[in-house]
Amino acid sequence: MPEIVFAIIGAVIGIALGFVIARYLANGAIKGREQEAENIVNDAKRKAETIKREAEVEAKDEALKLRAEIESERKERQKAVRDAEHRVQQREESLDRRTDSLDQREHQISSLQGQLERRQRDLDAAENKANERLEAIAGMTPEQAKAELLDTLKDEVAHESAAIIRDSEARTRAEADKTARSILSQAMQRIASEHTIENTVSTIQIPSDDLKGRIIGREGRNIRSFEQITGTNLIIDDTPESVTISCFDPVRREIGRVTMENLISDGRIHPARIEEMFQKAEKLVNQRVQEAGEQATFDTGIHDIHPELVHTLGRLRYRTSYGQNVLNHSLEVAYLCGIMASELGLDPVPAKRAGLLHDIGKAIDREVEGNHAVIGADLARRFGEKDSIVHAIEAHHNDVEPNSVLDVLVQAADAVSAARPGARKETLDAYIKRLEKLEEIAMSYEGVERTYAIQAGREVRVMVEPEKVDEARTVVLAHDIANRIENELQYPGQVKVVVIRESRAIGIAK
């Protein structure tokens, strides 16, 4: 029991000592922390003082710099003010000098004005004396002299004006003719179009003559179906390995040609198959027509034409006139119109538009009664073309009177395109008869020895006998032959008449 008590007492004492020791240590640590905090505060105060002193020094330096800059700027401004004052003073002195000079000049002018007034009075007096002497010598008053002088001048001016007008008209005609020829020749040289001859029939090659029986069909049912569906005439004769499709409508003939080629390629020929191939061919040809119209507008640079006009224009791809493809002819006329308009200083776009559309009536002239120029003008008017374009289309064959430069340009380009060698096709008989008639007309005149129609009938060479036809007579003869050809023959373009007179002297030395 005493041991337990001593143990408890010892434990209590140990705890008390531990508590005392721990508290002492804690007080020491707190004092150390307080000392450390005080040191930190003191350091911060010292740094703040240092920063404050540095800021004051920098502020003083900045103030000194600003004061120096202000002082320098003030001195510069003072100098500028002194310079301005000096310039103003110089200008005032210059103005004073000019004022003095102007005063002197004004005095001189006043003096000269007085002298001029005196001289004017002297001149008036002298003129009056001279007029009195002239009146006494001529026996006429001034009004009578003026009237006589004016009458004389009027007669002279009228005579000279008439001569000047005649000379001007002659020069203007010569210059206009020269300019027109130059513009036409340049336009023709710059257009190089191919000329291809096309017919109203299409010939299709077949692999063998045995296929002709299949095309005809039993009791002719295939050929009847083909002609009924396509609206063409199918000609099967003794010509080896070929059949011919004929039709006045070129688009319909092309559809029939494509249909027949597809049937031959397919090998199955019967009415149902013919109708199926016809529908495909019709769709294909219509697509080609549309593409041809769009390509024509693209080539000429015209992109705002109504779609119906574009499609109708594409139909001209399969239309021919005297063997000349009408779409190619329309493109050529458009190019010629554009070139000639540019040479004349006009806008080429309306000219090309009128040239492209001038023959559009030929695409439907087999469906509508009337002249193709009038049909084309109505069609263009219906689809919103301008009045100037419509009138140019209607006037290009003089169905209405031309009344603008555009009308004349289309007429000239149409004639040039149609009249060039190789552009149009004639039948052989008509061609030979025309050449014979040309030579016959030339030979009918007295003194003509030989005649030759050359250049496809566009030139006639006339050889005359020099003993019967003199030099002056050759000019008259060429004019008479040309007038007679113009009155009696129909021909494209123009015919040139050349009269040749050649004299030869022969001497024989023996």
Residue 185 lies in a domain: no
From 361, 394, 419, the end of a domain falls on: 419
Kindly compute the dihedral angle of the four CA atoms of residues 429, 435, 439, 444, in this order, to the nearest 10 degrees.
60
- Looking at residue 178, its pLDDT comes to 58
Which residue positions in the chain have pLDDT lower than 50? 188, 192-199, 426
- Please check whether residues 267 and 302 belong to one and the same domain: yes
From 370, 388, 419, the end of a domain falls on: 419
Residue 158 lies in a domain: no
Strand partners, 203: 244
CATH code, domain with 378: 1.10.3210
- Looking at residue 53, its pLDDT comes to 86
- Looking at residue 3, its pLDDT comes to 65
- Please check whether residues 246 and 301 belong to one and the same domain: yes
Residue 324 lies in a domain: yes
- Please check whether residues 460 and 485 belong to one and the same domain: yes
Contact assessment for residue 50 and residue 42, using Cβ atoms and an 8 Å cutoff = no
Handedness of CA 386, 378, 354, 411 (dihedral sign): negative
Residue 275 lies in a domain: yes
- Please check whether residues 388 and 490 belong to one and the same domain: no
- Please check whether residues 300 and 218 belong to one and the same domain: yes
- Please check whether residues 434 and 473 belong to one and the same domain: yes
Handedness of CA 159, 162, 164, 166 (dihedral sign): negative
- Looking at residue 192, its pLDDT comes to 46
- Looking at residue 5, its pLDDT comes to 62
**Overall number of domains in the chain:** 2
- Looking at residue 101, its pLDDT comes to 85
Residue 289 lies in a domain: yes
* AA identity, residue 441: I
Handedness of CA 326, 332, 336, 337 (dihedral sign): positive
From 381, 398, 419, the end of a domain falls on: 419
- Please check whether residues 351 and 444 belong to one and the same domain: no
Residue 268 lies in a domain: yes
- Cα–Cα distance list, 54 to 51, 61, 65, 362 (Å): 5, 11, 17, 104
Residue 315 lies in a domain: yes
- Please check whether residues 413 and 433 belong to one and the same domain: no
- Please check whether residues 293 and 210 belong to one and the same domain: yes
Q: What is the domain extent for residue 448?
A: 428-501
- Please check whether residues 386 and 478 belong to one and the same domain: no
CATH code, domain with 495: 3.30.300.20
DSSP sequence for 185-219: HHHHHH------B--SEEEEE-S-THHHHHHH-GG
Residue 87 lies in a domain: no
- Please check whether residues 343 and 392 belong to one and the same domain: yes
- Looking at residue 361, its pLDDT comes to 87
- Please check whether residues 471 and 378 belong to one and the same domain: no
pLDDT tens digit sequence for 358-370? 888 888 877 777 7
* AA identity, residue 371: N
